[in-house]
Each structure stands twice: as C-alpha cells, then as structure tokens.
Structure 1
Amino acid sequence: MLTFLSNFFLIYLTLFHIKKVVGTYKRMVIYFTAVGIVLSGLEIVARPFAQNYNHILLYFSLNEWIVSQELGQIILVIWAGIYILIVAFISVQFYYRYICLLYPKRTIYFDGWKTIIWMGYAFFPATIYAGTLYFFCPPDENGDESLKDFVLESYQLEIEDLPRLEIIPLDANGFRLKNLSFLVTGLLIMFFHYFIILYCGLRMNQNIREALCKMSKGQQKLQRQFFRALVIQSVGPTVFLIIPVAPILAIPFVSMYLDIEISVQTGWLYSMVGLFPPFDSISFMWIVTEYKHVIKNKLLLLLNKSSDNLSTTSQMKVIDKN
C-alpha cells in the first residue's frame, strides 16, 4: 500500500505541479515510478521465494490460488524480469545525470524520440534475464528428485505442487550448462549495471564543483539536488536490489567451489526488493526542494480548509442555539 500511495503521489506531483523537473528527466521519473508500482503489484501475485540448498537454487511461488503451474512460472519470470528492468533503468538515469552535469551538449542524444530508445533499453537486459531463467531453468525429474524430500520436510509441501524454477549448475552427471549459463548471465547483468551506477556517481562527485561553475545559480541549486537524490538513490539499489539478490545467485558457486553444504531460506530477501519503490519515491520528494514546497503548500491548504470548515460548523451551531 505504501508503494502505491507514494509512487502515485510522486507521479501526480510531477505531472501537474512540478515545473523545474522537465523534458527527458521528467519522463524518466514518471516511467521509473510507474515500473515500481508494477513490480510491487506483481510481487503480491507472484509471492516469490527462494531456497538455497547446497549448490541448488530453488525459485518458487508461495501463491496458493494459482492453479496452473505454467502460469505460476510465467509470473515468477516476469517479476524477475521487472526486477532487472529497474536495475537497468537506474543505470540509465545515472548515465543521463552524468551527461547533463559533465557533457551538457550531449543531452540532445536523449531528447525527443531518442528518449524512447534510452527508456526502452532497460527491456533488453530484462528480457535476456527473464528468457534465460524461463528457458534454461525449468523443473525436471533430476531436480525434483533431489529436492522433494527437503521441500516436504522444510515447507510441508509436495514439490510437484509448486510453481517453480530450478537452478542446478552441477549434478551427478557434471555441469548443467543451461543452469550455469543463467547464473553467470544474471550476475553479469546485475554487476554491469551496478558498475555504471557506481562509475557515474563517483565521476559526478569528483567533477561536480567544476561543472556547476559553468551553470546559473538556479541550475546549480537544482543540479545539486538531483545529485543528492542520485546519491540516496544509489544507496537504495545497493541495499534493496543488489544485496538481497546477488547472494542468492552466488551461493551455488560458493557451495561448488568450497565443496560445502549450505541450506538457507533466502526468499525473505525478496521482501527487501519490495521496499525499494517507496524508498526511492519518498527520498526523491524529500531531497528535491520543489517537491517539498508543493507538499508543504498542499498540507497548509488542507489544514486551512479544515479549520475553516470547523469554524463554519461552530458558527452554525451557535446560530441554531440562538
């Protein structure tokens, strides 16, 4: 509920009340906020969970009313794809602010119809991630046989009843290349986009003073606010998107390399992913001054209306008594 309220409120303010967030960045804010709403809504339906069991990663749904196994798997895959979509789009946002700050003349490559290309780019890694998960990691007899006793003991569920995807990079017959390919692909996609976030953030931090000297005072203030927002927004992906999911994908490699047994219910980490959209929206509205001013004015207007209504009501009661 917090996600829907905060994100819809941010979209409403950006569309109808905010004047300084314009052009490409305005479209990016609205698009990104809308994707956050979709992620949170789909999480309620998918109810994704994960279990790391030795070198096996079981990704499954705890939704009890989805009858079709195939539909459950598709919903799980779509949720995972939207997760990567958000990570990729954050890197696009960081790159755009990096260009605005250090190479403002190059922003023409983001304007107009080119904005669609940049915003559409995020679907490319998301599709790769979701596609490899769906086609490379379907459940099979070997995986079910390895997991059925554990799932029954730990969750009191029959594994055949779970909408699931099984990532088993190594079994008794050797490496399973498709499962292994998904794990490598997923980690590369995540860390590639996270590297862009870190690189652009550090470069902006190193050059922000020199870049701001070339701008007007109004632009300097706004760019500082955007930069602070991006710094906070870089903490968000780290805490809520990378830290929860990267270990889930990395544990099978650790188990194989160290040849140790690991059994961890890692699915609770997915709940942290759901906290990112409201964190991102609230932090952005808190840092960018224009949003704070609009919210403050709206609250004052509501308070004044409430006090006027109370005053009118009390006056009417006095008149009635007389």
Structure 2
Amino acid sequence: MLGKEWSALLKLIQDVSAVFSIVINTFLIALILTKSPKHLGAYKWLMIYISVFEIFYSILDVFLVPQHYSHGPTFLVIVGLKDKLFGPPGLLILNSCYWGCFGASMAMFAVHFVYRWLVVTKHPLIETFYGWKICIWFSVPMWYGLTWICTGYILSAPNEHTSRFIKDNIKEIFELKIDAYVYLGPFLYERADNGTVNVHIVPFIGLAIISGTIISSVTIVLVFGILCYQKISCLVAITVGSGKLIKLQRQLFFALVIQTLVPFLLMHIPAAIMFAFVFLDIDLGVYSAVVSMTIAIYPAVDPIPTLVIVKNYRKAIISYLSLECVRKSPVPATIPKMNTGL
C-alpha cells in the first residue's frame, strides 16, 4: 500500500474515531454527573477530567491529521500544511501539544491508581483530593505533558540534518515536498561515507527524558495497582457490613485496570516497538502509520470499560435502551367489540 493510500485510510479512521470519542465521552460525563453512586466521592472528577482530556485529544488528532513515520534511525510525527488554518510555526506548536497529550495520558492513569489506593487504605492523604487541593493532582499530567511538549518542540525540532535525511524518502512515498509539511522527531545518528557513526546528542537527551517519564508512570501504575488489588482482596475477605462499598471499589478498580490497558495496547506498546526499530536502524516506512491509527482509536475505546463495568452506568444504559425499544415498538390496534345483541 502506497503512502497516499495509507494517509487516506488514516484520515478516515481519525474522523470516525473522533466523532465516536466525542459522543461516548460526552455521554459518560453525563452519566458520571447524574448516575454516579453516592460513595464515588472525588473519583467522579477524576473520571470527568480524563473524559474531557480524551475529547480534546480527539479534536487535536482530527485537526492535525498527524502521521507517524519511521525511516532508518529517525521517527517523525508529520503534519501536512494543506487545508490547515495555521501556518508552519503554529502547526509546529500544535504538533508539540500532540506530543504532550501522549505524555499526559500516562500520568493520568498513574494518578488514578494512587487515588484508588488512598481510598481503599483510608490514608490521610486522601484529603488532598478534596477542595482546591485536587488541582495539585490534576496538574501532574500537565507537567508530564509539558515535558513532552518541550522535548518535541526543542529537542526534536526540525533541523538541516534531519530534513536532508528524510526529504527524498518522504517525497517518494507520500509525494510531499519538504515545504508541504512540518515535522517533529529525533534523528539519533547518521553514518558517514567512511563508515563512521555520528551520534546526535540532543535527540538522545530528549529520548532519555521521554523514557524517564514512561518508566516512572509505568512503575507507579504497577506498584499502586498491586497494592490496591491486595488491599481490596483483604477487605473482601474480612468485611461483612459494608459489602456494597467494597463491591463498588472492586468495580472501579477493575474498570481502571482495563481502562489503563487500552492506552498501553493502543499507544505505548506500538510506540515502543517503533522506537526499538529506530534504534536497530530498521526502516518501517509507511507501516509506521499503524501507530497513528491506534492512537486515534484510543480516546474512542477508552471510556467503554467504565460504561460496562460500573453497575450504575450499565443499568442506566440498559434502562435507556429498553425505554427506546418500547417507544419504537408498534402499538397493537384495539379490536372493536362486536355487538351480539345479547
């Protein structure tokens, strides 16, 4: 499949996913505000926070139509200039914001797991999730996102070496000249004619920073996820009086686990595979677009576990669907009584 055909398929997937993401996340926000259990507490604001983020991510994705592209020891996020409201400087900033969304998504789930552990252990720090202090927790994903924005915009910015290395390849595959798109991405090293390898230090620094944020986020999710599971299992074994509360905590925990697996499967694992191929100097070419497609699908799929697993939301959906079926079902005609004269 040629690059232009990949681009057309990617655009279709991005458009459909964006519409579905906006609809389903808006619906989830409405359910959170109107159908949430009484014991949900501050967690509903965390769920709304992530739904609003995913709506923004979808809008940015469908506006930019970013395409991931791997060529030798470099990987890029390419944004075409055609039919865009902004020029190259503005699109570079928005492209870096797209990088930031990728980074923020990881920290978001890390904060969720910390909150779940604080709730089930009744730790005093749970008070920091109430009142104005919750803004401190909301700022954590923003700091992760800002780190990725700076890494993309500053440490992976377009330069003469990268442009010279990629321009002929992109022109051949996508039929795009160098002045028809903007890109962000590290060019890790290049081989000279005499066989020596020239390592570019700045992109490696950026890659090290990104790797650090990924490792820290994954570590927090794993550690607090295991601790939370152990604590909930212990409570289930010894608790009798507050069964409904424990059942709710289990529902929210398993919804969070599945919801966290979605970005790992659709975003982080595909991106990690692409990074590995870049290090090995293996050219993925247009097949790197698979990463763009899975990232586009992520905001549309991510809310589904919460809608299905949390009982209150599931019951509300079933009730709504049942009501719609009753409304649409034809009303049987009334059979007139016959006058028999008796």
Cα distance between partner residues in 1 of 2:81 and 2:39: 40
Letter of the structure 2 residue corresponding to residue 92 of structure 1: V
Q: Which residue of 2 aligns with 1:30?
A: 48
The structure-2 alpha-carbon separation of the partners of 1:21 and 1:303, relative to structure 1 and needing over 3 Å to count, comes to farther
Q: 1:202 to 1:19 in 2, by over 3 A?
A: closer
The equivalent of 2:244 in structure 1 is 218
State the one-letter code of the partner of 1:141.
E
Instruction: Give me the whole-angstrom Cα distance separating, in 2, the residues matched to 1:195 and 1:250.
Output: 20
SS of the residue 1:311 aligns to: coil
Instruction: Single out whichever of 288-297 and 190-199 deviates more from structure 2.
Output: 190-199
Matched with 1:280 is 302
Q: Does 1:203 align with 2:224?
A: no
Aligned to 1:185: 209
Identify the residue that residue 323 of structure 2 maps to in structure 1: 301
* Offset of residue 8 of structure 1: 0.7
Aligned residues: 308
Task: Give the RMSD, CA atoms, in angstroms.
Answer: 2.2
Question: Do 2:82 and 2:180's aligned partners in 1 also have CA atoms closer than 8 Å?
Answer: no
Aligned residue number for residue 13 of structure 1: 31
**Aligned to 1:163, what secondary structure does the other structure show?**
strand
Q: Per the alignment, in what secondary structure is the counterpart of residue 138 of structure 1?
A: coil
Q: How does 1:309-320 map to 2 (within 5 A)?
A: 310-311=330-331
1: distance between equivalents of 2:320 and 2:180? 51
The 1:24–1:136 alpha-carbon spacing in structure 2 relative to 1, beyond 3 Å, is same
Unaligned runs of 5+ in 1: 256-260
Alpha-carbon distance in 2 for matches of 1:2, 1:208: 34
Q: Which residue does 2:274 correspond to in 1?
A: 248
Distance in 2, matches of 1:220 and 1:285, equals 19
Aligned-pair identity (%): 24
Q: 1:21 to 1:248 in 2, by over 3 A?
A: farther
TM-score, normalising length from structure 1?
0.88
Aligned to 1:95: 114
TM-fit CA distance, 1:63 = 5.7
Q: Kindly provide the amino acid, as one letter, of the partner of residue 99 in structure 1.
A: L
Moved over 4 A (4+): none
Cross-structure match for 1:228: 254
| Partner residue, 1:258 | none
- Tell me if structure 2 keeps the 8 A contact 1:167–1:179: yes
CA-to-aligned-CA distance 1:124-163 (integer Å, 9 cap, x gap) = 0110111121012221222211112111112111123211
Q: 1:138 aligns with which of 134, 157, 162?
A: 157
Which piece of structure 1 moves more, 261-270 or 46-55? 261-270
After the TM superposition, which of the residue ranges 1-10 and 107-116 deviates more from structure 2? 107-116
Deviations 1:10-58 (A, max 9, x none): 0011112323363310100111111001101110011111222111222
Give the structure-2-normalised TM-score: 0.83
Which structure 2 segments of 5+ residues have no match?
1-18, 337-342
Secondary structure of 1:249's partner? helix
- Match of 1:228, SS state, is helix
Contact kept, 8 Å, 1:2 with 1:278, in 2: the verdict is yes
Q: Distance in 2 between matches of 1:20 and 1:241?
A: 33
Change (3 A) 1:27 1:21: farther
CA contact (8 A) 1:285 1:292 kept: yes
Check whether the contact 2:36–2:44 (CA below 8 A) recurs between aligned residues: no
